[in-house]
């Protein structure tokens, strides 16, 4: 079914020309989900009835001339975004039966633009994972090879887009959870700056790191969606009120004369074939007139340990609300309040979530706060300073998204440290709050690899521009699972 894959921009043109209706697009998307999802496990909930009703309304709007450019296009929402009247599970037994009474801002804004959600995608439980194997609803499979991981935590969204089930899906990126699955599934994954997109209604993992993002086929599509979801929201105190530029207009800018920084530290431990793909991508930029410059991120080796102190600490605080009393799963047979907490959280949370809660509680505890959490925050600042120094020399930082192509399911599940190291190239952008994108740049052993581009704070337009210009002069983003286009 992947051969029917179309970008958002292509679908918008088809709808505008009258060549196809929203009803037909939505029916085709639902048919592909029915045909493929038993193999991929990309969706937790499919909302066929409401999607088709919304498609009919979209067609009516278009007939009256009241439609926006993306009205009537089917998409999917990561199951971390609260969606009114629809189960929002965060892929956890804790929220298996939770139906949200309201929409997250991201959902609200996409609905207002007329896009149609066909369902909620699978993910690592509470967004904690790099392989989409921690989901209570089972692992997601990579469309390029069902024996391999699609990446995480937004693995369901990435797999759904790569397989052509939907042209775009939302994701969240706390340490690379949009960019890493995009790289492993051969699509485009964009994380805006921290604060650019409201986190209201997005179930929290680590509040100083979480950011909503976009998984799509192209940087152009990522720009289309980011234009809709970016901007101030008074309901999120961390949401920036900086004006949102015209991302689509920025795509056409030339990169000639621009400087691209490549951290030499990125190539320590990088798969040799992945390194060759990176150098080939840099050659494309040279042909476009950009200058490639070596830069240094001396604190890069500390990024993963810093992240895995800060994020569990914040998770420990955020997940304390799931106690079996107010909402979510509640254990039966508890004799008192303490046993209710213990039984509910022991059964309601999976192993990885419990591991991170325990780690976070430990590093925040009396006697260990200064030694771990406070020190991690100081190193976080050093990492941010490293990035800032690079941007004094260059316009963008480029390098690999992941150390290797997609690994086999089960290969790292018993070794948390090896799993965490998959985030080595992505976590720095989260620790510093910077925008980043992953775009396909090659195949290694028949599996896609991603080129990551990171920009300064609120430089989403530049990041999208560099990604789009690369995609205008390469065809890797056009490859379908199986290696054909």
Catalytic residue ranges: 78, 153, 177
Per the DSSP assignment, residues forming a β-bridge with 454 are 397, 436
Helix, strand, coil percentages in the chain from 3-state DSSP, rounded to 5: 45, 15, 40
DSSP string, 353-393: HHHHHHHHHHHHSTTTIIIIIIHHHHHHHHHHHHHHHHHTT
Per the DSSP assignment, residues forming a β-bridge with 148 are 408
Rg (CA), the chain: 21
Nearest alpha carbon to residue 268 among 88, 413, 403:
403
Q: Give the CB-side neighbour count of residue 107, counting CA atoms within 13 A.
A: 25
Cα–Cα distances (Å) from 357 to 204, 270, 363, 379, in that order, read 13, 31, 10, 21
Residues 6 or more apart whose CB falls under 8 angstroms from that of 226 comprise: 190, 192, 196, 197, 214, 247, 460, 464
**CA 161 to CA 32: how far, in whole Å?**
11
Question: Sign of the C-alpha dihedral, residues 207, 210, 211, 214?
Answer: negative
Beta strand residue intervals within 405-454, DSSP E:
436-444, 447-454
**CA 416 to CA 418: how far, in whole Å?**
6
Q: Give the CB-side neighbour count of residue 403, counting CA atoms within 13 A.
A: 14
DSSP 87: B
Q: Is 397 helix (H, G, I), strand (E, B) or coil?
A: strand
CB-based burial, 196-206: b 16+ in 10 Å, e otherwise: bbbbbbbbbbb
**CA 421 to CA 402: how far, in whole Å?**
9
**CA 176 to CA 165: how far, in whole Å?**
23
**CA 161 to CA 86: how far, in whole Å?**
21
């Amino acid at each position: 079914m992947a051969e029917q894959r179309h970008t958002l921009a292509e679908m918008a043109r088809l709808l505008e020309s009258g060549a196809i209706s929203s009803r037909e697009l939505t029916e085709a998307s639902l048919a592909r989900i029915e045909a493929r999802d038993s193999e991929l496990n990309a969706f937790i909930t499919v909302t066929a009835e409401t999607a088709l009703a919304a498609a009919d309304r979209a067609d009516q709007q278009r007939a009256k001339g009241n439609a926006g450019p993306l009205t009537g296009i089917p998409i999917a929402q990561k199951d971390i975004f609260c969606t009114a009247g629809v189960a929002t599970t965060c892929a956890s037994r804790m929220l298996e039966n939770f139906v949200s009474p309201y929409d997250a801002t991201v959902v609200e804004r996409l609905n207002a633009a007329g896009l149609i959600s066909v369902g909620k995608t699978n993910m690592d439980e509470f967004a904690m994972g790099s392989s989409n194997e921690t989901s209570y609803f089972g692992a997601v499979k990579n469309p390029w090879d069902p024996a391999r991981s699609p990446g995480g935590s937004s693995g369901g969204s990435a797999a759904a887009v790569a397989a052509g089930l939907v042209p775009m899906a939302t994701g969240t990126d706390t340490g690379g959870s949009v960019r890493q699955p995009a790289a492993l599934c051969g699509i485009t994954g964009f994380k805006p700056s921290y604060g650019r997109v409201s986190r209201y209604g997005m179930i929290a993992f680590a509040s100083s790191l979480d950011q909503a993002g976009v998984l799509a086929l192209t940087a152009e599509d990522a720009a289309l969606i980011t234009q809709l979801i970016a901007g101030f929201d008074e309901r999120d105190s961390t949401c920036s009120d900086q004006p949102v530029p015209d991302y689509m207009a920025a795509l056409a800018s030339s990169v000639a004369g621009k400087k691209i920084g490549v951290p030499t530290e990125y190539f320590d431990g990088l798969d040799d074939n992945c390194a060759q793909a990176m150098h080939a991508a840099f050659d494309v930029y040279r042909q476009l007139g950009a200058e490639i410059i070596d830069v240094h991120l001396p604190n890069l080796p500390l990024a993963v340990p810093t992240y895995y102190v800060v994020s569990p600490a914040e998770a420990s605080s955020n997940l304390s609300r799931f106690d079996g009393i107010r909402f979510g799963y509640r254990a039966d047979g508890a004799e008192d309040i303490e046993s209710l907490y213990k039984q509910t959280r022991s059964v309601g949370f999976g192993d990885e979530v419990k591991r991170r809660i325990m780690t976070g509680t430990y590093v925040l505890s009396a006697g260990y706060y200064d030694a771990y959490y406070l020190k991690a925050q100081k190193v976080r600042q050093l990492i941010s300073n490293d990035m800032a120094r690079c941007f004094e020399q260059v316009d963008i930082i480029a390098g690999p998204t992941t150390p290797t192509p997609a690994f086999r399911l089960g290969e790292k599940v018993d070794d948390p440290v090896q799993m965490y190291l998959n985030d080595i190239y992505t976590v720095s952008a989260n620790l510093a709050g910077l925008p980043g994108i992953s775009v396909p740049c090659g195949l290694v052993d028949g599996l896609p690899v991603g080129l990551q581009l990171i920009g300064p704070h609120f430089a989403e337009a530049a990041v999208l521009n560099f990604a789009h210009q690369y995609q205008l002069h390469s065809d890797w983003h056009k490859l379908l699972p199986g290696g054909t286009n």
